[in-house]
Every structure is written in C-alpha cells, then in structure tokens.
Amino acid sequence: DVKVTQSSRYLVKRTGEKVFLECVQDMDHENMFWYRQDPGLGLRLIYFSYDVKMKEKGDIPEGYSVSREKKERFSLILESASTNQTSMYLCASSTNNRAEAFFGQGTRLTVV
C-alpha cells in the first residue's frame, strides 16, 4: 500500500513564525503535491513537484514556498505565518504512469 506521511496532525503557530510542514512517501512516486482545504472552497493546489529540486506553482502559491531535496520528501514552508493560513494542509503523491493521487493524513494548522 502507498503510504504518505505528514509530520504533524495538529499544529498551532504564532503570527509571523516560519512554519515547516513535512511530507514523506514510500512508493518512489515522481510527483508530490501540497493542497490546502477550506470549507466551501474545496482542495486548492499550492505547489507541486515532479522531480527532485523541481517545483511548480499551483493556484495559490502566495505566502508559501517548497523544497524537495530528496525524491521521497516534500516540504511546505510558510515564510511568515498569518491567520489567513489557518487551514487543513494535505500532501499527496502520484506516479507518472497512474494519475491518481494518494493523500497523507493531513495537518490542521492554526495560526494565532
């Protein structure tokens, strides 16, 4: 079974802090994604990566950056957390051969 693991289930951070969300997948998938999910807005793509050190902006990249130094790990960075970044963050991975994405358990981030 594909396993996508996010480092934290719940996080509470203060406004202005630098926040790191980590995601690891164990199936050698080429593609990794970060989404955020908010009520009424569905899942929105923040960034994705199709290879080590490669990244592409999604629909809402402002205020975020990402890092992929190893194939299995994809990090989302909030450079200076703000209250409007309070959300559920979901990491996912997929292969190039099969398009379906497999999700981690999610990180519920609260910025106070």
Partner 1 sequence: QKEVEQNSGPLSVPEGAIASLNCTYSDRGSQSFFWYRQYSGKSPELIMFIYSNGDKEDGRFTAQLNKASQYVSLLIRDSQPSDSATYLCAVRGGSARQLTFGSGTQLTVLP
Which spans of this chain sit near partner 1 (rule: CB under 8 A)? 31, 33, 35, 40-43, 45, 48, 50, 58, 90, 94, 96, 99-106
- Could you tell me the smallest distance in angstroms from the CB atom of residue 91 to partner 1? 9
Half-sphere exposure of 60 (CA within 13 A, CB side): 16
Measured from the CB atom, the residue of 40 and 69 that comes closer to partner 1 is 40
Query: Closest approach of Cβ 27 to partner 1, in Å?
Result: 14
Query: Between 11 and 45, whose beta carbon lies closer to partner 1?
Result: 45
Q: How far is the CB of 105 from partner 1 (least distance, A)?
A: 5
Q: What is the C-alpha separation between 78 and 16, in angstroms, rounded?
A: 9
Mapped onto helix, strand or coil, the DSSP state of residue 85 is helix
At position 63, the amino acid (one-letter code) is G
Q: Which residue has the tokens 């290879």?
A: 51
